Every structure is written in C-alpha cells, then in structure tokens.
Amino acid sequence: MITDSMYQELILEHYKHPQGKGLREPYDAEVHHVNPTCGDEITLRVKVGEGGKVEDVSYEGQGCSISQAAASVLHELATGSTVEETLAVVEEFTRLMQGRGQVQPNEDVLGDAVAFAGVAKFPARVKCALLSWMAYKDAVVRSVGA
C-alpha cells in the first residue's frame, strides 16, 4: 500500500518523539506560519551565532504527523550547521517535495529528510512537509538580515 512508503518508521519516530520541540531563548527571529487549508501551524525561532552557525532552531506547533516530524528533522539537520549549508538542504528538500515523486533525492545533502520522499506523491500532503521548512527559511533570512 502507498501509505506504507509515506509513513516511514523514521517519520513516525520523530512524530512520537519530536526533537528540539519548545520555544527557547535567545533567538534572532521568530516567525509564525499556517497552512490555511488544514489548520496546521508552527511558530519557529532561529538563533544564528558566530561565523553564520545556526545555534538553535526551536519551534512549537500543531498538525499532522508529516508536518510535526518534518519540524523535528529540520531541527536536527539545521542545528550546528552553517546558514549556507542549511539553505542548501532546504533547497534540496523543496525540490524533492515538489517533484511529484519523480525526483531522485540527493541523500548526501538530505540525510534523514530523505524519509519524506514518499510524501511527494501526495500533492495534498506536500504542504504539510514544507510548512516548517518554509518557516525556517523565512526566519533565517530575517535573522541574518537583523
């Protein structure tokens, strides 16, 4: 069945045990993004330190397993990397999600986020996976600009 490829064990694990959840201080920028069609929402904070290093991505939100797990994976991937590196991951993740299941993901860039490849076949769920990542992109642009 199709959902078996969508609800990967890794996604379910992140949903049940979200990493880095909760809003923390200090932060440079905070954003609030919503998905009006399904009501999913996320508040996300970013702290960028010396040398453009992402020191923390903290978040609070509600939504389906895909949107919550995506935020958790994002936290793991982004924290400790440079802004430049994380934006490359966001770009690759977006390319994968918008590829209608036809895109071959670059695992070296995506790491655990490759588990979301199955979501790309469900246009209605792509927005769920992208919610926190778009929020992150928005927040990081604001923190670097600040």
Residues at the contact surface with other proteins, assessed by CB under 8 A: 1-3, 6-7, 12, 15-16, 37-40, 62-66, 122, 125, 128
Shortest Cβ distance from residue 130 to other proteins (Å)?
A: 14
Q: How far is the CB of 92 from other proteins (least distance, A)?
A: 25
The CB-of-65 to other proteins minimum distance in angstroms stands at: 5
**92 Rama sector, left if φ>0, alpha if ψ -120 to 50, beta otherwise:** alpha
Distance CA(65)–CA(12), nearest Å, equals 7
Nearer to other proteins, 44 or 129 (CB): 129
Nearer to other proteins, 22 or 145 (CB): 22
Would residue 121 be called left, alpha or beta, if left means φ above 0 and alpha means ψ between -120 and 50 degrees? alpha
Gyration radius of the chain over CA positions = 14
